[in-house]
Amino acid sequence: MSTQTDTTGGTPAAADHLVEVQHLAKSFGDHEVITDISFTVDPGTVTCVIGPSGSGKTTLLRSLNALEVPDRGVVRIGGTTVDFAGINPGPRGRLPKPQRAELMALRRHSGMVFQAHHLFPHKTALENVIEGPVVVQGESPADATARARELLDKVGLAEHVDKYPFQLSGGQQQRVGIARALAIRPDLVLFDEPTSALDPELVGDVLGVMKTLASEGWTMVVVTHELRFAQQVADQVLFIDGGVIVEQGPPQDVIANPQHPRTRTFLTRLLEPI
């Protein structure tokens, strides 16, 4: 594995792709979950990844910031490129220290919003949001706290900064998770089915925050079953099945007018009334 980091410290020019994925693949045992996936993401755009359960969507998303280490393929985010070919994790999946450092260099470009919140239960909403900037990035507590308050206000939680996760609804916890992801000032925000664990009446608040982020120019990759959100917000949609991209393009093509039979079958089943 090799990593190449842009020594200028800047992000790519607007004309460049922010994210480039080339021939990515990942297996668990004998089961290849994603197979030879390639795509790009431009700065300030939203990419929605759709597909049936078990198709490899979450594995793909987690591979973008090396929470899952791909078996092969190349991922570039900003000025950092990682070639995963030839990686052989040791016992218990551990990597040598230099390789761990290279993966961390890639990971620093993105913030992750998980399906199940993953908040620290013993920390308040405010403390959850400042954890990354202070502990990982070395930001001063005063600066991190000021920014965290701004972000919690942005996601509609200004009055809940001192509450613990158990005092918040699922939707509020997810919005804390979004604020936490933004607090590290990532180039890319990754969302792993952020509404799938929520009660239906709470989904709209989370999607509303995500729409605001999209309108502000945040670059986002979103694994989702929310087709209306994808139609309204996405710049490109990737339909994944069997570990490959079956169809990709703007939502008016992939969702409204799919060309591949497998895409049409999936959308029909997803959209048909129960």
Backbone angles phi, psi at 50, to 5 degrees: -120, 165
Q: In this predicted structure, what is the pLDDT of residue 12?
A: 40
pLDDT at res. 94: 75
State the residue range of the domain holding 227.
2-109+186-271
> Which of 185, 206, 227 marks a domain boundary?
185
pLDDT band at 136 (very low <50, low <70, confident <90, very high): confident
pLDDT at 8 over 70: no
- Position 58 in a domain: yes
d(CA 164, CA 183) in angstroms, rounded, equals 18
**What pLDDT shows up at residue 273?**
54
How long is the chain? 274
CATH code: domain of residue 265: 3.40.50.300
- Do residues 86 and 219 both lie within one domain? yes
Domain-located, residue 6? yes
Q: Residue 175 to residues 169, 172, 182, 253: CA-CA distances in angstroms?
A: 10, 5, 11, 31
Cβ atoms of 40 and 47 within 8 Å: the answer is no
Query: Is residue 177 domain-shared with residue 198, that is, in the same domain?
Result: no
pLDDT value at position 197?
Answer: 82
Count CA within 13 A, CB hemisphere, residue 17.
14
- Shared domain for 94 and 9, answered yes or no, is yes
Question: Could you tell me if 41 and 28 lie in one domain?
Answer: yes
Top-confidence residue, 190 or 200:
190
- Same domain, yes or no: 76 and 195: yes
First-to-last C-alpha distance (Å) of the chain? 48
Same domain, 140 and 95: no
Give 254-269 pLDDT, tens digit per residue: 999 999 999 999 999 8
pTM over 0.85: yes
Q: 165: how many CB neighbours lie within 10 A of its CB?
A: 20
84 lies in some domain: yes
Q: Judge if 36 and 156 occupy the same domain.
A: no
Q: Where would I find the H helices in 24-169?
A: 57-64, 97-107, 125-131, 141-154
Number of structural domains the chain divides into: 2
| Residue 96 scores a pLDDT above 80 | no
244: helix, strand or coil: strand
- In terms of domains, do 152 and 225 share one? no
- 102 and 131 both lie in a single domain: no
Is 115 a domain residue?
no
Q: Answer yes or no: do 153 and 89 share one domain.
A: no
Domain boundary among 157, 185, 213: 185
Residue 196 has pLDDT above 60, yes or no: yes
Average pLDDT for the chain? 89
> Within a domain: residue 114?
no
Same domain membership, residue 195 and residue 125: no
Is residue 236 domain-shared with residue 162, that is, in the same domain?
A: no
Q: Examine the fold and report which residue of 185, 218, 238 is the final residue of a domain before the chain moves on.
A: 185
User: Would you state the pLDDT for residue 156?
Assistant: 95
